[in-house]
Amino acid sequence: MPAAPQRHTPERDLPRAPAHALRPALTKEQAEDTAHLLSVVSNPTRLQILSLIHHSPGGQARVVDLTSALELRQPTVSHHMKVMHEAGVLSRDPVGREVWYSIVPQRLAAIGDLLR
């Protein structure tokens, strides 16, 4: 009986590195920080907020601007802003009685770096 043809799988075709040559690309602390960052921005409302801020004049927005654009109540938007500010995704700039929020480029650049 003839031998069955060998199936080629992508895993089979890849060269294997010796176990001692493998090094983690991220430290445990970096992985935990990045996982937290991803969990913060993975919320659909927060992604909308980030998009609105990014496309706003000067890359800044107030809660009142976002509330009307998203058709959400102020406490809801404020909660999402607080979560992103505490995670270092947004910066706050108080101007008189208003607070302007902008995206912290280094935090979101960290996500982009992981995807490249």
Instruction: Please check the confidence at residue 13 and state whether its pLDDT lies above 90.
Output: no
Residue 94 covered by a domain: yes
Assign 23 a pLDDT band (cuts: 50, 70, 90): low
Average pLDDT, the chain: 85
Rounded mean pLDDT, 96-106: 94
Tens-digit pLDDT profile for residues 48-87: 999 999 999 999 999 999 999 999 999 999 999 999 999 9
pLDDT at site 8:
58
pTM, to two decimals: 0.74
Residue 52 covered by a domain: yes
Residue 13 covered by a domain: no
**Residue 101: left if φ>0, alpha if ψ -120 to 50, beta else—which one?**
beta
Q: Which CATH number do you get for residue 87?
A: 1.10.10.10
Residue 23 covered by a domain: no
Residue 19 covered by a domain: no
Q: Which residues span the domain enclosing 63?
A: 29-34+42-115
| Number of domains within the chain | 1
Indicate if the alpha-carbon torsion angle 31, 37, 42, 43 is positive or negative: positive
- For residues 23 and 19, give the distance between their C-alpha atoms in angstroms, rounded to a whole number: 9
